Amino acid sequence: MKALRNFFEKTKPYVGKGGKYHWLHSTHDAFFTFLFVPKTTSGSGTHIHDYIDMKRTMSIVVLALVPALLFGIYNAGYQHFGALGQLASASFTDRFVFGLLKVMPIILVSYAVGLGIEFIFAQFRGHEVNEGFLVTGMLIPLVMPVTTPLWMIAVSTAFSVIFCKEVFGGTGMNVWNPALVARAFLFFAYPAQISGDAVWISAEGVEKMADGFTGATPMAKAAMGDTGFDLWNAFIGLIPGSIGETSKIAILIGALILVITGIGSWRIMLSMVLGGLFMGILLNLSGSDNIYLALPFWQHLLIGGFLFGAVFMATDPVSAAQTTKGKWIYGFLTGVLAILIRVVNPAYPEGTMMAILLMNTFAPLIDYWVVQGNITRRLKRAGVKA
């Protein structure tokens, strides 16, 4: 390890200002600081600093995503062999390996494109490479259908990193959640390739679907008036859907990691779920004959990307509301809107993405209101005293 450190220390002058390989500066710095926590000590202010840093924070989010990722990989294989009608003959390993071969390239493309752009921007700005994309790069594959062509992953990732993040100043400055912007970009730019019933299952080499097999997600079916999906399978995650969103168990494990470590805001998660349930109850109470409106309110949590959005997307600290009270309001309204759009608007099969992006837009307004409240309250205190 010492040799490695020496290598980085010795090569440092070459990438420094005026060095021959200065264009590699951000790359050198990123790898060096990844391997070794720098020896920089406090120059002013507090003499001690917490051991937590952005690398640890972001890697814990990635860790929380791992259960959903692993299940997504397995489910890709499961759905494929299911479509073939060969589930019985495909072993666990067969399903997993098939899924791995499908999902891995998507992850690689997402990271390669996104990190490449981040490195270039860091170089131009003279900043250190930010760790935010470690999470975004994992979220993007998990919100895509498994059949999305790799070039679309590349284009949408590039679009979101450049136009959603870097133009605003990089990690910490963006208005919207970058992973959702990537998803939304595909949704509007290539609607045919990212919606419909055929995209959820990798059906390569499938000439004829097994009898009675449609490939539609339970949510799409519900929108068509068929709410007879298997609740248990929806909970476990053995249903068609975007790679990471299907398994509610895996998502809950991730939620547990985020809440225990304090990295994800439990307030946003809880209030969004409450908002969703509230809207579900309202729809139930509307007394309509429409079978989707009458879907028992709690079952909305089991289908689509609602739970995934609540745990991993709405909680992005940069694009969410930042004040404590604001988080409650933001989460609740996101939940309400997600279910409202999902059920009432026929143009969109799922409302979570739209709801979160919309509330991202309004988050600063919510915070503004909360901050004004703080100011008024403090002034009142002054008045009482005088």
> Measured from the CB of residue 48, what is the shortest distance to another protein in angstroms?
5
Q: Which is nearer to another protein, 33 or 284 (CB)?
A: 33
Residue number, 81 or 312, with CB nearest to another protein: 312
Looking at the Cβ atoms of 208 and 385, the one nearer to another protein is 385
CA distance 370 to 364: 10
Length, in residues, of the chain = 386
Question: How far apart are the C-alpha atoms of 138 and 8, rounded to whole Å?
Answer: 28
Taking the CA atoms of residue 354, residue 359, residue 362 and residue 363 in that order, the dihedral angle to the nearest 10 degrees is -150
Cβ 362 to another protein shortest distance, Å: 16
Q: How far is the CB of 59 from another protein (least distance, A)?
A: 7
The whole-angstrom separation of Cα 56 and Cα 129 is 14
For the CB of residue 328, give the shortest distance to another protein in the complex, in Å.
12
Closest distance of CB 385 from another protein, Å: 7
Tell me which residue of 245, 311, 243, 237 sits closest to 273, measured CA to CA: 311
Q: Which is nearer to another protein, 46 or 89 (CB)?
A: 46
Q: Are 326 and 314 in contact (CB under 8 A)?
A: no
Name the residue nearer to another protein (CB basis): 302 or 321.
321
Neighbours of 152 (CB within 10 A): 19
169 by DSSP, 3-state: which?
coil
Of 235 and 266, nearer to another protein (C-beta) is: 266
Binding site for another protein (CB under 8 A): 1, 5, 33, 35-42, 44-57, 59-60, 128, 130-132, 169-173, 260-263, 265, 317-318, 320, 322-324, 327, 371, 374-375, 377-379, 381-382, 385
The residue among 60 and 153 lying less far from another protein, judged by its C-beta, is 60
As to burial, measured by CB atoms within 10 angstroms (0-12 exposed, 13-18 middle, 19+ buried), residue 285 is: exposed
8-state DSSP, 129: P
Do residues 176 and 319 touch, judged by C-beta distance below 8 A? yes
Q: What is the DSSP letter of 163?
A: I
Q: How far is the CB of 205 from another protein (least distance, A)?
A: 40
We find the least distance from the C-beta atom of residue 128 to another protein, in angstroms, to be 5
Shortest distance in whole angstroms from residue 330 CB to another protein:
11
Distance CA 182, CA 176 (A): 10
**What is the token pair recorded at 31?**
């790898």
Angle made by CA atoms 172, 176, 178, in degrees to the nearest 5? 80
Which tokens go with 223? 């929108």
- Cβ proximity to another protein: between 264 and 275 the closer is 264
